[in-house]
Every structure is written in structure tokens, then in C-alpha cells.
Amino acid sequence: MTYLSILVETRGRVGLVALNRPRALNALNYALMDELMRALAIFDADDAIGAIVITGSDQAFAAGADIKEMANKSAADMTQNDPISIYGQIRSIRKPVIAAVSGWALGGGCELALSCDMIVASETAQFGLPETTIGVIPGAGGTQRLIRAVGKATAMEMILNDRKINAQTALHSRLVNRVVPVDAYLNEALQLAEQIAARAPLAILAAKRAINHSYESFLGAGLEEERRIFYDLFNTEDQKEGMRAFIEKRKPAWTGR
Ligand code: CO8
């Protein structure tokens, strides 16, 4: 399989996918997400693979969904094309998925990390959900999953006021499993994945399924509501202004319409 926006390799029983759009800080466009989900599905179906690691670069895990790709979309475009559905595919991966995060994990990038089963962070990792600064809300699970990780107070501040949290705060807030120096985070994640991949395969799949049964019990309805609100915001002038302002590298002028 050839990929343009990701790098894929196998390390023993671990499948490794690296997001690879360095000039856009790994902004998640549709083509990248499609490749990522195809690579995950192939690893998931491969008996020689026991766990999967998703990483980015040292500078950026991913700086969010690709704003340039969606800036001019209408609510009808978004609802019809349903670009968030591809993010949802990660929920069907049966094998453990670990995010190895360094640098920016913002917006859809943070949501992708939150969709993984565990997060190993480098000391430089920065987590944030800055969507309200461009006139929308997190749409790929951020409003639902962040609150379960860090609690309501911190989630409100991160989403309503673009508070970014560093790796140490993320560790104390139980958003991530471990924090290690930037030259070690990928190996740390690979080692963790390797240890899990060496365990009884059926028990590992069963354990993940059982944990998610509890974790996801109330998640489905919340995700649907979040997605509907996200798409509806593409009817507003503030969404157009917010995304254009980002692309034009200026401050947005909000009108509240
Ligand atoms: N989308 C598109 N391009 C991006 C993105 C992005 N999210 N982030 C960075 N880039 C591009 C920049 O435009 C720039 O490109 P160019 O060189 O052509 O101008 C390049 O990457 C480098 O970025 P900067 O020059 O901005 O780098 P800085 O070091 O100055 O700043 C930041 C780094 C702070 C990460 C900054 O780039 C930033 O704020 N990025 C946007 C963060 C953001 O708002 N993310 C949320 C996006 S919305 C979202 O994720 C919703 C997800 C849910 C639904 C998904 C539906 C499809």
C-alpha cells in the first residue's frame, strides 16, 4: 500500500503510523485521515500485529483538522459529506492504540489523541482545543472525551478560553499516561505497545472491549450532538470570519451572526 501523508512501518508485533504533513504541522486533511484509517484497519486485521502506535513529528502531533480545507464549506456541505465520520472509525479498531505525542496536539489533533487508548507524551507536548478561536467548537469528540479525562472545570477553560496545557499538567490532569523527554517518547510508546502486544491476544482485545463498554456507555449520544452543533456553526458568519482570519494571519472581527 502506498501512502502520501503518513509513514507506516512494523516494529516486531507493533504497527507504527506517523502522520507526515510537516509543512502544515500535520493538519488533518481528509486524505491524511483516510490513509490513517486504512492503515489502522490493515494493522487491526493482521494477526502478526498486537498493538498500534500513532505519532506525528517532534514539533507537532497534529495542529488540528485542516482549516484551509473546510473554511469555505456550508453547513449543508459539512452535513452531507460528514467529514467527522472518518474520525469515528477509530472506535472500531479492536487492538490497543497508543498515541505518542510531541509538540502541538490541537483541535482535531488533540481529539485524535483522545480517541486513542493511551497517550505517551514528550515534555514539549501541548494539548488544546482552540476551535472557538476560529468560530466553531471541537467536533470530533473533544467536548465529550476531554471532560472525562480532565474534568469539567479544566475542560471548560480549555474549550471556552483556548487554555493550552503542557505535558506535566496533562499528566496531573490524567489526560496522558506518561511524560518523557522528547528524544525518548516514541521509544517509550513503542516499548509500551510491544509489552502489550506480547500478552495474550484475545484477552487484550477483550479487556479493551470491556473497558470501552463502560467508557463509551454515554458517549454515542454526546458525540452525535457535538457533531450536529459543529456542522450547524458552518451556517454562521463567525465561522467564515474565524477560519479566514486564521488563513490570512490576522485577528478575527466577530459579529455574533
Ligand atoms: N489547518 C491548516 N493549516 C494549518 C493548521 C491547521 N489546523 N495549523 C497550522 N497550519 C499551517 C499554517 O497555516 C502554516 O502554513 P503556511 O506556512 O502555509 O502559512 C503552517 O501550518 C505553519 O503554521 P504557523 O505558521 O501558524 O506556525 P506557528 O508555529 O506560528 O503556530 C500553531 C503553530 C499555534 C499550531 C498554529 O499553527 C495554529 O494555531 N494552528 C491552528 C490550530 C487550530 O485552530 N486547530 C483547530 C482546527 S479546527 C479542528 O481541528 C476541528 C476538528 C473537528 C472536526 C474535524 C472536521 C473535518
Q: Looking at ligand 1, which residue's alpha carbon is closest to its atom 40?
A: 63
User: Which of 51, 64, 131, 140 is an active site residue?
Assistant: 131
State what percent of residues in the chain have pLDDT above 70.
100
pLDDT of res. 37: 98
pLDDT of res. 222: 95
224 is catalytic: no
pLDDT of res. 217: 87
56 is catalytic: no
**Residues 6 or more apart in contact with residue 210 via CB below 8 angstroms:** none
d(CA 107, CA 27): 10
User: Which of 50, 63, 111, 125 is an active site residue?
Assistant: 111
Among the atoms of ligand 1, which is closest to the Cα of residue 129? Answer: 46
Q: Is the pLDDT of residue 135 over 90?
A: yes
Among the atoms of ligand 1, which is closest to the Cα of residue 87? Answer: 55
pTM score, whole prediction = 0.97
Average pLDDT in the 186-195 region? 98
62 is catalytic: no
Q: For ligand 1, which residues put their CB under 6 angstroms from it? A: 24-25, 27, 63-68, 70, 83-84, 104, 106-108, 130-131, 134, 138-140
Q: Looking at ligand 1, which residue's alpha carbon is closest to its atom 41?
A: 63
pLDDT of res. 218: 86
d(CA 203, CA 95): 11
18-46, pLDDT tens digit by residue?
Answer: 999 999 999 999 999 999 999 999 999 99
Among the atoms of ligand 1, which is closest to the Cα of residue 30? Answer: 57
Mean of the per-residue pLDDT values of the chain:
97
- 232 Cα: distance to centroid of ligand 1 (angstroms): 22
202-240, pLDDT tens digit by residue?
Answer: 999 999 999 999 998 889 999 999 999 999 999 999 999
Number of C-beta neighbours around residue 182 at 10 A: 16
pLDDT of res. 1: 83
Number of C-beta neighbours around residue 186 at 10 A: 21
State what percent of residues in the chain have pLDDT above 90.
98
139-176, pLDDT tens digit by residue?
Answer: 999 999 999 999 999 999 999 999 999 999 999 999 99
Give me the numbers of helices (H) and strands (E) for the chain, helices first please: 12, 10
